């Protein structure tokens, strides 16, 4: 602990004011997490833009920002499960979470996601100090050889595809998204909200709209069975732990998303490579990344995520006892909210006409692209949507579309 320059105490007694700020953050994270297409980094940048004007001590404003980020990382899995479910005939090429929903196991998927995130928080706190020490030592070497490291990651993702056709589709998706990222990531278009950039239209187009378009002819969320978890406790625990460790990698290795890290993590856990394992691992990566990034900010003074940037913009001191207590409270709240909201969200989406819902959400994604990146963002959203349709047409995983970040980094853009 001394090597990190921090001291963690257990005697912190949160005041009523601190709890009030934390629960405001929980409420904001709930709203953002349940909004399709709203990336946690955009939430963080929005919070960063208004944080200086919020009345209250910076340390409590920072607690609210962190709570919002943690809860968002729990709840953003819910719309991902419920929206864009394709027809059962397309189950083989559907997202892992959607395969569970198509099979009537959506309620189980909700609980797997909650467990993945919840266990990741529990694992991340005791692991954060040794992992941060190790990554602090290793990062300069990784950074010096970043193109090679990222090249190995990309090669692994492509070589683990199940066929030559899928390999080609994945390579095409990587190349197309990489070219798009190189052309647009550095743009700073005028937009209604001064807290965006190009990530929203790029991610909404590459990962959001194609799933919804492919689901236009589907019948939506079918009737769901009971919520019993079929995976063993041991498998869930090991997968969540692997996702937790992969969350640390996401925080230190630029361009590696939670989906990429989940694929890498699942390779370490025998018997967990099915859809259930992917849901647990991805949720674990998302949430653990926030905790590890907090320790990285304390140790290195460098923000590794949008939430940590927002903490810095709010001039919030890195008070680890307060912020870890905040993460714990937000983690419990996020876990309970996923369980309380997830089933209802699935039922509500299942009761709506699938075509109208998909068109409406695509319109919402286009609207968010305009809010965060103006007219340029809408145009980029359209192009990204076309690129995002490629991998699934070849039976490849959509994770290759992370070339939008990996490609420019490998080329030194």
Residue 140, class by beta-carbon neighbours within 10 Å (0-12 exposed, 13-18 middle, 19+ buried)? exposed
Q: What does the pLDDT read at residue 196?
A: 61
- Identify the pLDDT of residue 272: 55
Say what angle helices 258-266 and 233-252 make with each other, to 10 degrees: 130
Distances in whole angstroms, Cα of residue 147 to Cα of each of 142, 253, 380 = 9, 11, 26
| pTM, full prediction | 0.82
Mean pLDDT per block of 10 residues along the chain (413 residues) reads 43 68 92 80 72 78 90 89 68 71 90 92 84 80 86 91 92 96 91 77 90 79 85 88 83 75 75 77 86 80 77 82 90 94 88 86 91 92 96 90 91 68
Q: Is 238 exposed, middle or buried (0-12, 13-18, 19+ CB in 10 A)?
A: buried
Q: What pLDDT, on a 0 to 100 scale, did the predictor assign at position 94?
A: 63
Question: How much is the pLDDT for 412?
Answer: 72
Q: Residue 195: what pLDDT? A: 62
């Amino acid at each position: 602990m001394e090597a990190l320059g921090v001291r963690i105490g257990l005697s912190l007694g949160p005041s009523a004011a601190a709890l009030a700020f934390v629960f405001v953050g929980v409420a904001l994270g709930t709203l953002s997490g349940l909004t399709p297409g709203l990336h946690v980094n955009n939430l963080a940048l929005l919070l960063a833009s208004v944080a200086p004007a919020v009345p209250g001590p910076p340390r409590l404003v920072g607690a609210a920002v962190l709570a919002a980020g943690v809860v968002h990382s729990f709840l953003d899995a819910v719309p991902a499960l419920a929206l864009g479910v394709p027809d059962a005939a397309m189950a083989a090429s559907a997202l892992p979470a959607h395969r569970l929903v198509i099979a009537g196991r959506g309620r189980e998927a909700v609980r797997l996601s909650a467990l993945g995130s919840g266990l990741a928080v529990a694992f991340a706190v005791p692991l954060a100090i040794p992992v941060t020490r190790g990554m602090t030592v290793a990062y300069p070497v990784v950074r010096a050889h970043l193109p090679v490291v990222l090249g190995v990651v990309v090669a692994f993702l492509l070589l683990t595809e199940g066929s030559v056709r899928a390999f080609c589709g994945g390579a095409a998706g990587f190349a197309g998204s990489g070219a798009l990222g190189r052309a647009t990531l550095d743009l700073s278009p005028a937009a209604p909200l001064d807290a965006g950039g190009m990530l929203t239209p790029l991610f909404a187009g590459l990962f959001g709209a194609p799933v919804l378009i492919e689901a236009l002819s589907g019948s939506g969320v079918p009737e769901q069975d009971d919520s019993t978890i079929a995976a063993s406790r041991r498998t869930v625990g090991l997968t969540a732990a692997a996702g937790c460790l992969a969350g640390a990698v996401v925080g230190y290795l630029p361009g590696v998303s939670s989906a990429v890290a989940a694929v890498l993590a699942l390779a370490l856990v025998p018997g967990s490579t099915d859809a259930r394992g992917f849901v647990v691992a991805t949720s674990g990566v998302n949430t653990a990344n926030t905790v590890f990034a907090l320790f990285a900010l304390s140790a290195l003074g460098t923000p590794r995520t949008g939430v940590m940037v927002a903490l810095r913009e709010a001039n919030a001191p890195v008070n680890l006892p307060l912020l870890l207590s905040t993460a714990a409270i937000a983690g419990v709240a996020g876990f309970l909210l996923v369980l309380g909201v997830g089933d209802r969200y699935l039922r509500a989406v299942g009761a709506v006409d699938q075509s109208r819902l998909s068109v409406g959400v695509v319109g919402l994604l286009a609207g968010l692209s305009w809010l965060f990146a103006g007219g340029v963002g809408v145009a980029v959203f359209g192009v990204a949507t076309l690129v995002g349709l490629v991998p699934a047409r070849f039976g490849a995983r959509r994770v290759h579309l992370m070339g939008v970040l990996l490609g420019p980094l490998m080329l030194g853009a």
